[in-house]
């Protein structure tokens, strides 16, 4: 998908200033002057406990490291710092957190990053894997689980740190879109979702399957979002990126890759710019859609309770990312 730049919000500016001073404190013993907002190497922004294993995972898996991964406010770095310790040393903690959200006990089998699954699921890529500059939907974290009945599950997680929202749809303003009337009218879009420009953009090689997946899961695209009451397309704004990842989670089950799936948001608890559109999407989508929101402080608190090296990691996370832990957040 074409990424659109986010405007820096006041929260993002505050977090970056804090992270620069925290970095200076760690490196020089004093927060003044603040350190630069970019590490010399993205690995320097990863907690020492998992720095080597993260680097090895990136190489072994052939992950595309984001161009901004060395920034002190990198969401990719945030995802690694949150989930790599759980992957390597705390799968029971992760299983407990996920079990509470899913409503059933689970065991964690594996944790992957930048996960897109088989490309046939969404049909965003021309071949069996992304090549060159092909744009595709990828979840920041994918967790393979099993439940007590032995069913295979996959939990996709979008990780947000200081972003000002989610990626929006550029179709409504694209000169290549012959059906902007569907963007302007929810009623027209629901009548003809197959004619939506997002289904086959100008450079696409085949039809994307978002609407097919929603129709298979809920009966129709309209029935997928019974709580939506707006006039324009429900996926024109920030809900577009959420929908794509949700469709990926649903599509993986339809393709036989898992028996059940869920999609969650892990985010900084003070960043309402991502929490609010997430809750709007969750309010409009059909019941039973298996969506959850997990603030980062809840993750840190749960692991910190183990003590030992977890306490050191938790101090790092709280200090670097300006997390107020121990109080949690109403979800």
| In the chain, domain spans | 10-168+237-321
More confident position, 265 or 331: 265
Closest CA to 44 of 15, 61, 23: 23
pLDDT of residue 134: 76
Query: 295 has which bridge partners?
Result: 267
3-state SS class at 310: helix
Task: For residue 221, give Cα distances in angstroms to 239, 244, 247.
Answer: 14, 13, 11
pLDDT of residue 327: 39
**Average pLDDT score over residue span 119-144:** 89
**pLDDT category, 27, cuts 50, 70, 90?**
very high
**pLDDT category, 288, cuts 50, 70, 90?**
confident
Percentage of the chain modeled with pLDDT above 90: 87
**pLDDT category, 328, cuts 50, 70, 90?**
very low
Paired tokens of 13: 């500016």
Whole-structure pTM value: 0.94
Residue-wise pLDDT tens digits, 238-262: 999 999 999 999 999 999 999 999 9
DSSP for 145-202? EEETT--EEEEEEEEESS-SS-PPP-GGG-TT-S-HHHHH-HHHHHH-GGG-GGGS-T
pLDDT surpassing 80 at residue 173: yes
More confident position, 191 or 205: 191
């Amino acid at each position: 998908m074409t990424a659109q730049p986010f405007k820096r919000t006041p929260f993002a500016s505050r977090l970056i200033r804090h992270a620069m001073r925290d970095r200076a404190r760690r490196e020089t013993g004093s927060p003044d002057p603040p350190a630069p907002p970019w590490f010399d190497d993205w690995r320097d922004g990863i907690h020492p406990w998992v720095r080597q294993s993260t680097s090895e995972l990136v190489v072994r898996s052939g992950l595309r490291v984001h161009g901004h991964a060395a920034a002190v406010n990198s969401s990719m770095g945030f995802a690694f710092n949150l989930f790599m310790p759980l992957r390597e040393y705390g799968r029971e903690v992760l299983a407990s957190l996920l079990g509470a959200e899913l409503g059933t006990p689970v065991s964690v089998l594996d944790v992957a990053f930048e996960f897109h699954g088989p490309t046939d699921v969404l049909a965003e890529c021309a071949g069996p894997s992304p090549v060159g500059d092909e744009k595709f939907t990828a979840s920041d974290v994918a967790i393979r689980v099993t439940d007590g009945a032995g069913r295979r599950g996959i939990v996709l997680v979008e990780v947000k740190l200081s972003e000002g929202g989610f990626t929006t749809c550029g179709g409504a303003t694209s000169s290549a879109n012959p059906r902007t009337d569907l963007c302007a009218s929810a009623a027209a879009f629901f009548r003809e979702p197959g004619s939506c420009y997002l289904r086959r953009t100008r450079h696409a090689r085949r039809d994307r399957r978002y609407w097919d997946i929603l129709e298979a899961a809920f009966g129709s695209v309209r029935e997928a979002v019974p709580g939506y009451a707006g006039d324009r397309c429900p996926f024109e704004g920030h809900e577009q990126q959420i929908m794509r990842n949700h469709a990926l989670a649903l599509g993986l089950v339809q393709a036989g890759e898992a028996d059940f799936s869920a999609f969650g948001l892990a985010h900084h608890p003070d960043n309402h710019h991502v929490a609010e559109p997430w809750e709007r999407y969750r309010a409009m989508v059909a019941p039973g859609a298996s969506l959850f929101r997990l603030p980062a402080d809840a993750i840190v608190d749960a692991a910190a309770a183990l003590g030992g090296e977890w306490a050191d990691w938790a101090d790092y996370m709280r200090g670097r990312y300006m997390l107020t832990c121990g109080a949690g957040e109403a979800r």
